[in-house]
Every structure is written in C-alpha cells, then in structure tokens.
A and B are shown apart, each in its own frame.
Chain A
Amino acid sequence: MSSSKVSNKHYFAWLKHPRHYLFFKIFIWFWLTITGTVAALIFLSNITAINAVSTEPLRGPMKKNLIYTAKSIERSATKHKRTLADVLSHPRLSKRKILFLGAAQPEDALSNKEIPAEIDLNLLSFSQNLAPQVIFTEKYQAFGPVNISVPEGQFYLYEIDINHQPPLLMRFKLMPNWMKVLVAIFASLILSFIFSRNLIAPINSLKKAAIKLSSGDLSARVAIPASRKDELGVLGRDFNSMANQLEQLISAQKRLLADISHELRSPLTRLKMATGLAQMQANEASQSYLLRIEKEANQLDKMIADVLQVSRLEAQSQTLSLQKQSLKDIVEHVLNDAQFEAKQNTKTLTFSGNADVMLSCDESLIASALENLLRNAIKYAHSNISFNVHYNNQIYIEICDDGPGVPNEQLSKLCEPFFRQSDARDRVSGGTGLGLAIAKNAIIAHGGSLALSNKEKGGLCANITLPLIKE
C-alpha cells in the first residue's frame, strides 16, 4: 500500500521540479533553439516580402493559349471595330474563366465577368511591364500580362483563376503567420522530444540499474542495444561489465565464507570427539579446562551453523519445507522460551493481539527469526518488552523494547552479518552477531519484510510482515 504511494510520488516528481531532470533541460534547449531559428526565419522573410505575392515566368501551352486569346481580342476589336466591352461579353469569351484587361489607369480596366469583392486585382499592376507570368496571391492566381493594343488604348490581358490552389511551397509561403508559427512549434516540439528521449532513455536505464545494484540486486543490468555505438552505448556496456565483475566477486566471497564454514566442521567434529575422550581420562584439575574447550567448540559450532544458514538464505538455496501451520503454535512455542529468558533477566515480556491464523511457512525458520528478535529485545530492554501480533490482509508482528535504541544511521546496518553497535565488538553481549541477519533473511525467504525503527520515547521496534495463505 505505502509502496505504491511512494512510486506514484516518484512518478510525478518531474512535474514538480522539471529543472532537476536532464531530460527537460536538453529538451527545452533544443526546442527553444529550433523554434527560435524558425521564428527568426519567418520574421526575416516577412520583412523582404511585403505583400503575399510571388511570381514565376509563364511557359508552355498556357502561355501560347493566353497569347492566342490576346490576339483574337485584338483582332476582333480592330477589324470589327467593336468596343472591348463588347468583345469581352461575346459568349465565346464570357464562358471562359475570368479575363481581366488591366490598363495604365485602374479605372479603365475591364473584365468579362463581375469580379468578387475580395479579389484585389490592383495587386497585378506591378507586373504590367513584365513578360507573361504566373502570379500567385493569397486569393487567386493570375496568368499574364499579354499586351493588347486596341484603338481604345493599351491593355494588359490577365487570366484570373480564383479557385486554383497554389502549389505546396507557395501554400506554405502564403500561410497566415500564426499558423506558420504553430506548425514550427509542433514540429520542433516533436523533434526535440524524440531527440532528448533518445539521449535520455539510456541514461535513465543506467540510473535504474545503478539504483538496483546499490540496493543489493547484483543481477541488475542496463538494457542497452548492442547496436548503439555512441558514448552512452559504451558507458552502458562498461556498467554491465562492472556489474558482472561485482556479482562474481561478491558471490565468490559468499561462497568462500560458506565453503570455509563447511570445511571447518570436520575438524570441529574431531575436536569435540577428542575432547570427549580427554574428559573420560582427565583428572579433576583439567576437567574445568576441558569443559571450557567444549564450550568454545560449541560456540564455534553455533557460529558456523549461523554463517551457513545466512549464506544459504542469502543465496536462496535453502530448501524451505513449507507447511500449512498455525502461527499461534509457533508464537506460543517461542513465547514460552522468551518468557523464561525475560524472567531470568528480571524483565517483563507482554504479548498482545491475535495470532490465530494459518500461514504457509518453514516453522523452524520463522520460529528462529522470532526467537532471535525476541532475544535481542530482551537483551537490550530496560525493563519491558512488548510482542504484538495482528493480521488483516497480511500478518503484522511487532517486537519492541524500551532500551536505548540504535542511532538512526546504524539502523540499516543492524541486519548485516557480524554487525555490532559498539566498535569494541563486546562479546559479553553474547550471540554470534548473526541473529538479526538470519531473522531478516528468513522472513524475506517467506515473502515478508522486516523493518527496524526507533521509538520516539526510546527503544527499538522490529516490524515484521508475512503473507497469509492465498485462498
């Protein structure tokens, strides 16, 4: 429950502090650069082109056709002595597209059809002295001019095409400015996003792998495709080979510890046996020394067993003999011994809650975990130890003492093998220094968790969760 909250928080963290994320820095800079460049280009091009008009020389049949039309108008105006207005209203011409006859004076201009109000033909006046062109404007396209000399004067023939869509490039050029900017923004946005993602994705993968590795998951690797040959690809592969090396070293070290412990057993068995033989023959004076030897051999035996247990649990090679078991049985059993131990130390152990629930577990492992935690609590408690068990969707076990607690920065180290609070490694406190490591690993092996914390009023609390049997 709480873990999902944390991950949600983490997931949206970038919204709160985008400046903490390299992705946004790179993204924003690229985006600004691209949009800035595009904006500057648009601005400059707008200064040079005052009106949204562009021209291209007219070529091919279109030109010939236009010249032919001009000639026929000229001919019918001069030969048949008709006014230009008459010529233009002739059905043969009036059926055509708009024909426009520009004149030196705009008011003398003529056309064969009514020209829509939004069409500003005055724009064409600049072209009167040019060779025939295609003239693109926002609303229409004009072909011309072709000179016509009639008795009425000098005219310039244009054919106007209102519906014609200008070619793609022209369309871009003639787009309204806000749209140009919008397009530029979107295009650059997408490009920058892809670019930064491409750059950041391997870094993120690297970050995740590093976090996993540092939290103890030695199998964590970066997922970087072998085809990636840039610096990030090389970095990722270097990281992976480093992780490999680390994994090998640590597993070799753990195996060494387990192997040594295992090999120590044979001589230890012989030592115990020899001690037994010596005890049968020794006189009164040396008996106490032999007892001491036996005691130390037993301590050594216990340590070896604990080291082996921890390393087996850590390597997950322990075969758990899982059995459906009532937690109550285990708790009662553990509690009996612990009560006795607490009484001997003149401390009070109080049990509360309800342990009447079934779980699937290796009872000896769970019992040894609880025993270790209780023994620890009894050892460090001032006078009271509380032991609480309750359950809803999982089992919660809390073991608290009222002792001095542990400095917060050492809490995480408590479960490491052979960790002792005082550097003097006071053996007086007894135990092998592996109790908490065994407890933690045993609980993790059952899919549970163990967290240690300090109480506000002083004292250490161990909080265990264990999964219930899935029905």
Chain B
Amino acid sequence: MKLLMIDDDTGLCELLTEYLAAQGFDVQSVHDGEQGLKLALSNDYALILLDVMLPTLDGFEVLKQLRQTKLTPVIMLTAKGEDFDRIFGLELGADDYIPKPFNHRELLARVKAITRRIEHINSLNVATPSKMNINGITVNLAAREAAINEHTLTLTGTEYEVLVLLIKNAGEVVSKEQISEEVLGRRLASFDRSIDMHVSNIRKKIAEHIHGERIKTMRGTGYVFIQGE
C-alpha cells in the first residue's frame, strides 16, 4: 500500500519509512510543501501524512489545494498542544491528526484504521444493499458516494464513514465514542472535538443542497440522523 509522507524532518522520514515498511507499507517521502502537493495530485496514495510546518507551502495550504480535486485520506502531524492547528486541519478536511512527538504504535494504529477501512468496506459491499436512500440523501456503498438529488457530495473518507454510520443507525443516537472507534479506529480522548468537527463539515456540505436539519446533536451523548418527516 502506497503512502506519502510530507515532512521537512528528513531523519524522521527515514525512520518512519523503515518502520512502516516493516508493517507492509510503501512510504514515499518529500520534504517541502510544493513537491508534496504535486506528488499528491498526480498519484493515488492510500494515505498522506502531512506535517503542518513545511517550507515553500505550509501543511494547511497543501491540504486546502489538495481537497479542491482529491479526497485522498490525510493525517495531519500537528505539534502537541496547538489546538488551533488540530481544529483548523479538521475543518479543511483532514481525516485525522496525530500530535508530534507521537508514539509509533499510535501512529501505526491510526494509519491502519484509515487504510483498513477501504478494504473492509470493499468486502462488506457484497453483504449489504449497495444503495440506501433516507430523508433525501442517497448513499452508494459500492461507489463510496453520497448524493442529494443527483448532486454528489464531496465528502472526505472520514466524513463519508461518519455519514454512513449515522444513516445505518438512522433514528438512533450514535455516541461520539462509537463514531471514534468505528471510523477513526481509536478511543475518543477526553475533550476531543474531532468528531464534532467532522460532523460539522458534513452538515455544511449537506446544507449546500438541501433545506432542514438532517443530523441532530444530542447534548452529552452523540448524534442522530433524522429518519424523515
């Protein structure tokens, strides 16, 4: 599986390449934003690891330009404690983030959670109906697409997963913990706003095409997809 690592710390890139290679990943690394963006746009990677502080083009800019055309999963490498970086990255459509300095096991778990999903979904498609239509939103599980009145929603991998999870459980409250574990493959840390950010992104994208609330916040518990009028 091909991964792209964009980080100006060459030493870290070498170590990470070696580490992930041992886990069966093929990592290509570049050390500045412009080159990174070029590679990310011209190739199909299973996942991009993107640092925030980069020469020539910073991580946010790379992500912003990438998201205009591609939905390749992106994990941002942020500095620990920089809450703003984390939230801003998720707002721009990052799938997840991992604060530096990270634990190698944690990194591996997140990489696996996101890459495994694709295989998992592909194998699942056979058993479940390939199309669902609830309350104006159509989800094509085979094509991994969600649409409203023929308008395809440009959802990132994570956003799509969250939406599908909510739609499959339409009318029931899905807790943030459940979403985190099923979609991001990790336990929800205390005061982690990642899920809220993803849901907020989905809401914005739905609101572009349709009126009325589709996903409702249940304070302190989680979210619920409204089944219909």
Q: Which residues of A are at the interface with B, using a C-beta cutoff of 8 A? A: 262, 265-266, 268-277, 280, 294, 297-298, 301, 305, 308-309, 312, 319, 321, 329, 333, 363-364, 367
Closest beta carbon of chain A to B148's beta carbon, Å: 30
When the two chains form their complex, are residues B101 and A301 in contact, meaning their CB atoms are under 8 A apart?
Answer: yes
**Selected A-B contacts with CB under 8 Å, 30 pairs:** A262-B79, A265-B79, A265-B80, A265-B101, A269-B12, A269-B101, A272-B102, A273-B12, A273-B19, A275-B104, A276-B19, A276-B105, A277-B22, A280-B19, A294-B103, A298-B103, A301-B80, A301-B101, A308-B80, A308-B81, A319-B83, A319-B84, A321-B83, A321-B84, A321-B87, A329-B220, A363-B191, A364-B83, A367-B190, A367-B191
Having A265-B80, A276-B104, A364-B83, one finds 12 other A-B pairs with CB under 8 Å, namely A270-B15, A272-B103, A276-B103, A280-B19, A280-B22, A294-B103, A301-B101, A308-B80, A312-B81, A321-B84, A321-B193, A329-B220
Does B9 interact with chain A (Cβ within 8 Å)? yes
Residue of A nearest to B99 (CB): A305
**Interface contact B12-A305, CB-CB below 8 Å:** no
Residue of A nearest to B79 (CB): A265
In the complex with contacts A269-B102, A272-B101, A305-B80 CB distance below 8 A: yes
Asked if B18 is an interface residue, CB under 8 A from chain A, the answer is yes
Shortest Cβ distance from residue A446 to the other chain B in the assembled complex, whole angstroms: 15
Cα(A309)–Cα(B99), bound, Å? 14
Question: Closest Cβ of chain B: how far from A369's Cβ, in Å?
Answer: 13
B212 within 8 A of A: no
Query: For the complex, would chain A's binding face be called helix, strand, loop or mixed by DSSP majority?
Result: helix
Residue of B nearest to A267 (CB): B11
Contact of B12 among A262, A266, A321 (CB under 8 A): A266
The 10 closest A-B pairs by CB, nearest first: A276-B104, A269-B101, A364-B191, A273-B15, A268-B101, A270-B11, A319-B84, A305-B80, A270-B12, A269-B100
CA distance A39 to B79 in the complex (A): 79
Q: Which residue of the partner chain B has the closest CB to A262?
A: B79
Q: Which residues of A contact B15 (CB under 8 A)?
A: 270, 273-274, 277
Q: In the complex, A264→B11 CA distance in Å?
A: 14
Minimum C-beta distance from B46 to chain A (A): 20
Chain B residues positioned under 8 Å from A308 (CB to CB)? 80-81
A364-B86 Cα distance, complex, nearest whole Å: 14
| CB within 8 Å for A333 and B190 given contacts A273-B16, A280-B22, A321-B83 | yes
Contacts of B12 in A (CB 8 A): 266, 269-270, 273
Query: Chain B 1-25, CB within 8 Å of chain A: the 1/0 string?
Result: 0000000010110011011001000
Instruction: State the CA gap A301–B193 with chains docked (Å).
Output: 22
Residue in B18, B81, B100, B101 whose Cβ sees the most chain A Cβ within 10 Å: B101
Q: Once bound together, how far apart are the Cα atoms of A280 and B19, in whole Å?
A: 9
* Residue from B84, B102, B104 whose CB has the most chain A CB atoms within 10 Å: B104
> Bound state CA distance, A277 and B21, in angstroms?
11
Shortest distance between the CB of B131 and any CB in chain A (Å): 38
With beta carbons under 8 angstroms apart, the residue of A270, A280, A321 that contacts B9 is A270
Which A residue sits closest to B101, measured CB to CB? A269
1/0 per residue B93-111: CB within 8 Å of A? 0000000111111000000
The chain A residue with its CB closest to the CB of B103 is: A272
Chain B hits for A270, CB < 8 A = 9, 11-12, 15
Between A270, A276, A312, A367, the greatest number of chain B beta carbons within 10 A of the residue's beta carbon is seen for A276
Q: Cα distance A284–B214 when bound, in Å?
A: 54
- The answer for the CA separation of A34 and B100 in the assembled complex, in Å, is 75
List which B24-80 residues lie within 8 A (CB) of chain A. 79-80
Closest to B108 in A: A276
On whether the beta carbons of A277 and B11 are closer than 8 Å, the reply is no
A272, A280, A309 — most chain B CB neighbours (10 Å)? A272
- List of A residues within 8 angstroms of B81 by Cβ: 305, 308-309, 312
CB closest residue in chain B, given A301: B101
CB distance from A262 to the nearest CB of B (A): 7
Of B84, B102, B103, B105, the most chain A CB neighbours within 10 A belong to B103
- Chain A neighbourhood of B83, CB < 8 A: 319, 321, 364
Instruction: Convert B149-178 into 0s and 1s, putting 1 for each residue whose CB lies closer than 8 angstroms to a CB of A.
Output: 000000000000000000000000000000
